[in-house]
Structures are given as structure tokens and as C-alpha cells.
Structure 1
Amino acid sequence: MNYSGIKFLLGEIYDGMKTKQIIDKFKPIIKKGLNQFISEKVNDKLSAALKSSVSVDELDTKSESNTTEIDEPEVITTPEELESYTIVKVVLKDVIPLDRLFYRDNRSYFNILLDDNIRKWILRVRFNTNGMKIELNDLNCQIKLDKSSILT
């Protein structure tokens, strides 16, 4: 997580002056908290996926059909993408109810949506080998961050 992200989140929990020493002191705590939150969300998703198993009858019906399905590469949601979703939730917590925020991961970008509606996207995050690009809806604003500007 970068310096400004930690400083922003620290503003939500610490009222004093945010000096470099204070930020460095809270950095591992904030990072651990975000990692724990992301892990819990991933575990919840995995548990929900395991609970909703397909019955044998449905599998037989699919195998008997004449349509051929194209196997598309699986979309993998990364911890960085989930971290961006968490940051948006923190930013918007006083603006809208958090149960209206959703995310959808695609192969080329990560969407953060309002009311789980693809037409109401708030933010798109694109990660690649050079860094990341953040795109805000209705502002025609794209922010590019290269690897040198992102702290790990």
C-alpha cells in the first residue's frame, strides 16, 4: 500500500499529526488489517461457492446438450484489486450505504459498481506489469501509477 493510502486511512482512525514516524508506526497495523479483511472476503466467497454445488442431474443435462461451450480463461481476483475495493468503501462510507457497493472482476480490469449494475460503475482499476491505471466514471479522469510510485 502506498504512503498516501496509509495516510488517508490513518486519518480515519488517528486524530493527531500524521508525521512520518506515526505513519511508519501504523503502516504494519493497517496493512495487516487490510490483508485480514481481504482474506475474510475471499474465504466467504470460497465458502459460498462450495455451498452452491451443481447437482448430478444438472451435469447430465448439460453433457447431453448439443451446444459446445468455449472454455474461457478463469478470472482471478487479486489482493490488490480487493484492496482497491476496500479503499473505495472507506472513502464512500459516509456518502452511500456500503451494501450498495459491489465489485466485478474482468480479464482486463476490475470494476467497482453501485447497486451491482454494470451501467453504474464508479471506478475501474487496471493492473499490468508497468503499474496500474485508475479510471473514474463521469470525470473523464485516468490516473496512471507506475511501479516506482507504488510502495510495497
Structure 2
Amino acid sequence: MDLIDRLRDLSNRVERQSSNVGSEEATKTAFVLPFLQALGYDVFNPEEIIPEFTADHGVKKGEKVDYAIKLDGQIMVLIECKPLGAVLDAKYAGQLFRYFGVTDARFAILSDGARYLFYSDLDRANRMDDRSFFEFNLRDFNEARVEELKQFTKSAFDLDNILSTASNLKYRRALKAEIASEFKEPSQEFVKMIAGRVYSGRLTSSVKEEFTELTRAACTEFIRDRVNDRIQSAFEKDGTSLPEPAPAEDPNAKPDDSSSAKDGIVTTPEEWRAYRIVQAIGAQITDPERIYMRDAKSYCAILFDDNNRRTICRFHFGARKNAISVFTPDEEQRFELERVTDIYKYSDAISSAVSQYIDDK
């Protein structure tokens, strides 16, 4: 079984068992050890995976790190575990900081069983960085992330090779976060730079304000177009085309044996368009293929991972009035729509609704 298949199995286990895993010990047994096993380590060999690893440090005698990975007689990786759903931040992992400077380890992992944050000492030798250089999330990964993770498998582990790519990974991740931030809420510096390339007049306060909105809209449209292109390319690669919307229901049609006729459910062209828009918005933060549509008689639901307990939004499209209900973490918000494309106005609420399930434990 390939690594990606083992990780998918483990991802399914996280989803199935998360409600029954509440303690740190349960997290280690149910998720962390199987994760290390998926990477090829012998979790039953205490000379390779050392539990409750101790290295006395200053006045902190007898402190333990949950696990240490030892290869070729040398401690390579320190691992600190937290309960599933805990806040993962280096400042809450004091043992990792203290142990990093008194062992041979060049890498540290902070995990809650679903998310794995990888640290090194890229900024200062023998001192663990405050910011991780790589993160792997069992609830949200793709083939590219798996390829990066392969560096840490037992069979591929090469200290020099990982260190040579860790810096690039760290800054690339930071740059992606900055780009995402600029696309969502353009800074004045970004607006000034972009506007200066297309506008020849003087950038007064009112012009900057206008270009801030134009830049935000242009970024959203750019991402939407790229996502639509990817979706179209995927279908064309398979020799198919985008699904055709279901035809409008004919009130005079005779009943037949089709499931839609039996159920009285017809997905309209407007609902298909609305679904694609929500996919485009969600694609900024997750794989759009995780966003599904499930139609019903009274509404059309958009679900995360096709799970009816993870509703992103619902379309309420009628003959005279259209609306969308967005299920954000705090409340259900309902917005009236004059046109289907008005859904883009509520991108922030939809992104919030999607995000809660990406980080849901």
C-alpha cells in the first residue's frame, strides 16, 4: 500500500473516531503512533521510537518529550503531542524548545493527532524556530503535500536533504499566507503597487479607496476564473464535459421511473451555477472537490465532504425570490439574492463556513 493510501485510511479513522478521542494519551494511541507507522517506523521498537524521552536540562530535571525518533544511533526527531483539537503553537511546547538545544535532534513535531507541525533551527543553530516550516493535516491534504511528507519516511530520511529544502518550504508557506491575505484584504502597499501599473493619474485618497475595492474584486475574479479553468480542464482530461444541469420540471409531464421524478427533485441551472460559485470561493482555502451539492425538495444544500452534518450553505431558489443561508461557526446567516452572482458578495461568510470544517476536530 502506498503512503498516500495509508494516510487516507488514517484520515478516515480520524473522522470516525474523533468524537471518542478526548485525552492526550488516547490521541497518541489512536492517531500519532499509526501516523509514525505509516511513515515506516517500527513503533514497537523502543530503540527506534522512544516513548517518554528524557534529557535533563538545567533546572528542568526529569521532563519528558512524548516521543523521540532515533536512527543510526542518533536522536533525529522530537515529538510533542497534544489532545485532539488543542491549539498548536510553539509557545505551548516548552519541552520541545528546551530539549532541542541539548540533543542531536534537528527536527521537532508538534501534533494533535490530525495536524503535524514540523520545526527545525533554520533561524538560529540549536534553537528551535518559532514558526514551523511544514504542516501536514490528515483532514486536508493532497498528493503534493504527501510528496513533501515523504522526506520524513524512514526509508527516505536524509538529514542534509531535508535541511536543504526546509528553508524553501518555510518561506514558501509564509509567502502563500501573505499572498492569501493580500487577496482577501489588499494592503495599501499592494493596492498602490498594482494601481500604479494600470492607472496613470495621481493616486489620491479617493482613487486609492476606489482601487482597493477594484483590487479585491479583481483578485476574487482571478481566483474564480482559475478554479473554473481547473475544473474544466479536469473534465476535458477525462474526455468528459461539465455536468449538464437538470432540465426544468415540466408540470404536464407524465410520471416515469427516474429517481428525480419519483422524489420530485429537480436541480435547476441556477442551482448548478450557484454551486460552482461556492466551489470557486471555497477553492481559495481547500480542494474544491471536497465541496458537494445535495439537492432536496425545499432547498439545495452545499456540503463539505458530502456530509450532511457539515453544511456550508443552502440555496432557496423560488419563482419570485432567491436566497442563500450560510452556516458560519456562530450562526446561520440568510442573504437575499437579486442575481445568482450576488453570492460573491458573501465570500467572507462562505469562506468562514468552509474553514470551520477544515479545522473541525
Determine which of 126, 141, 146 is the counterpart of 2:333.
141
Task: Look up the equivalent residue of 1:144 and give its one-letter code.
Answer: E
How big is each residue's C-alpha offset from its partner over 1:50-103, in whole Å with a ceiling of 9 and x where there is no partner? xxxxxxxxxxxxxxxxxxxxx844311111001111001111112111121111
Matched, 1:12 2:221: yes
CA distance in 1, matches of 2:242, 2:340: 24
Task: Look up the equivalent residue of 2:275 and give its one-letter code.
Answer: Y
How big is each residue's C-alpha offset from its partner over 1:95-130, in whole Å with a ceiling of 9 and x where there is no partner? 111121111000110111001001101010011122
Cα distance change, pair 96–44 in 1 and its aligned pair in 2 (3 A) = same
TM, length-normalised to structure 1: 0.52
User: Which runs of at least 4 in structure 1 moved beyond 4 Å after TM superposition?
Assistant: 7-11
CA distance in 1, matches of 2:302, 2:340: 23
Q: What's the RMSD between the two structures over aligned residues?
A: 3.5
CA distance in 2, matches of 1:44, 1:150: 18
Counterpart in the other structure of 1:41: 242
Q: Which runs of no fewer than 5 residues in structure 1 stay unpaired?
A: 1-6, 15-29, 46-70
User: Whose Rg is larger?
Assistant: 2
Q: Which runs of no fewer than 5 residues in structure 2 stay unpaired?
A: 1-215, 233-240, 247-260, 342-361
Task: Look up the equivalent residue of 1:42 and give its one-letter code.
Answer: P
The 3-state SS of whatever aligns with 1:117 is coil
Matched, 1:104 2:305: no
Task: Look up the equivalent residue of 2:310 and give its one-letter code.
Answer: K
Determine which of 95, 111, 128 is the counterpart of 2:285.
95
Determine which of 82, 96, 103 is the counterpart of 2:272.
82
Larger RCO, structure (CA 8 Å, separation 6 or more): 1
Aligned residues: 98
Determine which of 313, 318, 327 is the counterpart of 1:128.
318
The 3-state SS of whatever aligns with 2:243 is helix
Matched, 1:150 2:301: no
Identical-residue share of aligned pairs (%): 27
CA distance in 2, matches of 1:98, 1:124: 17
Cα distance change, pair 127–116 in 1 and its aligned pair in 2 (3 A) = same
Task: Look up the equivalent residue of 1:134 and give its one-letter code.
Answer: I
Task: Look up the equivalent residue of 2:271 and give its one-letter code.
Answer: E
